[in-house]
Amino acid sequence: MDSESILLHQVHPVKLAFDIGASVVSNALLWQHRLAAGIVSRYLLPVLGSALVLRFADVESLRDTPRGRYVLEHMPPASTALRLGGDTLMAAGAWRRKPSWVLAGALMVAAGWSHGLYSRPSP
């Protein structure tokens, strides 16, 4: 498994479903101040999704798809960090019951995925 496979697995539909589902479930649990369940669901479900996709899916087949090319071209470490920061802000916003924080975190995650909209193409 190489670094490109790690990037490619992030756009697999199963991985995306695990990540989005984990965020929604975790935010709901954190909003209810169910800390342990919120933290476990937020971090364990995405790890499980990654493990399943990396073990059983044909990640290489994503390389020649538009989303595969996009993630290989437009997912530098800074974009991944921005997505993680946004996810953390969403979790904190859910815990503190601040919808504006949850929204700001979601916008940060979207900005992390949107690197291709504001970056220059590689030569």
Locate the domains of the chain by residue range: 3-118
In the predicted structure, residue 13 carries a pLDDT above the cut 60: yes
Share above pLDDT 70 across residues of the chain, in percent, rounded to a whole number = 96
Q: CA neighbours within 13 Å on the CB side: how many for 39?
A: 3
User: Hey, how many other C-beta atoms are within 10 angstroms of the C-beta on 58?
Assistant: 8
In the predicted structure, residue 1 carries a pLDDT above the cut 80: no
Please, which contacts does 36-42 make with residues 24 or more away whose CB atoms are closer than 8 Å? 38/91, 38/94, 38/95, 42/87, 42/91
Instruction: Confirm whether pTM is higher than 0.85.
Output: yes
Report, as an integer, the average pLDDT of 42-46. 97
Structure confidence at residue 61 (pLDDT) = 95
- 80 — pLDDT class (breaks 50, 70, 90): very high
Answer whether 68's CB lies under 8 Å from 11's CB: yes
